[in-house]
Amino acid sequence: MTDLPKIAWIGLGIMGSPMSENLIKAGFPVTGHTLEQEKLDRLAAAGGTPAATIAEAVAEADVIVTMVPASPQVEAVAYGPDGILAHARPGTLLVDMSSITPGTSVDLARAGAEKGLRVLDAPVSGGEAGAREAALSIMVGGEPADFEAARPLFDALGTTVVHCGPHGAGQTVKAANQLIVAVNIEACAEAVVFLEKSGVDLAAALDVLGGGLAGSTVLARKKDNFLRRDFAPGFRIDLHHKDMGIVTEAARAVGAAVPAATLVAQLIGSLRAQGDGGLDHSALLRAVERLSGHGV
């Protein structure tokens, strides 16, 4: 068996920690860096190597993975004298798995190429559960040869791995994913309030809806959140608010009408303004309840 590439993992949050741990379980040597000591301790307990700086993390890496919240954080870890581009070895594969604007990904690929790095944008869908279970959907933009080089890593993290096109294409597909998820959650939330105000047994109703054409991964994953009003964050409203900004901005740039996405983006923004930004995005139910004078 050939040696697996050395991985530097930057960003050990809700998604990054379980994803990096799945690589360790698959046999990859992983060195990780993040700002919180307890997350570095968790990586060490899982068999990884914590690094105090980005420079230390990437010095010997064959592949560098970034998994941070948004474009500003990607730029912060990539650029500048302490960033990835200043310290990674030429020829290293840089895989950004964050959800950011397509333009940021294109710019990073260009800047990386100037330093001799191969860059892929590879955002994911599946939430915390998908990250833990190594069942993510991974949508990738970049050169086909670089995608194939990264394939063993992707296969250790997800079950659906697709090369979507050139740099930025992965992020464009992720934006479409977030549009669909947000509108789906909103539809489920509206149905929950409608059912409850009508006096229907909610658990029974969601079971039968899940078995028909109205069934979806969103409904299956979030059903218990709706039933229990449990909004512990798997994917925070704050992050979906960011993603809906990407959706509406990117759609406007290409002249695509996204009226449902625009409406749900406003509802997510309203929920965040009311202090619910740290809750799971299934907390859109709270917004519908408030509009309906029900339960809140």
Catalytic sites, residue numbers: 174
> Can you give the C-alpha Rg of the chain in angstroms?
20
Reported as type and span, the H/E element at residue 138 is strand 136-141
Cβ neighbours, 10 Å, residue 178: 24
Q: Residue 12 and residue 56: Cα distance in Å, rounded?
A: 16
Spatial contact of 93 and 64, defined as CB atoms under 8 Å apart: yes
CA torsion sign for 106, 75, 61, 163 is negative
CA torsion sign for 38, 39, 44, 49 is negative
**DSSP secondary structure letters along 202-239:** HHHHHHHHHTSTT--HHHHHHHHHHHHT----SSBHHH
Spatial contact of 10 and 77, defined as CB atoms under 8 Å apart: yes
Q: If DSSP codes are grouped into helix, strand and coil, which group holds residue 262?
A: helix
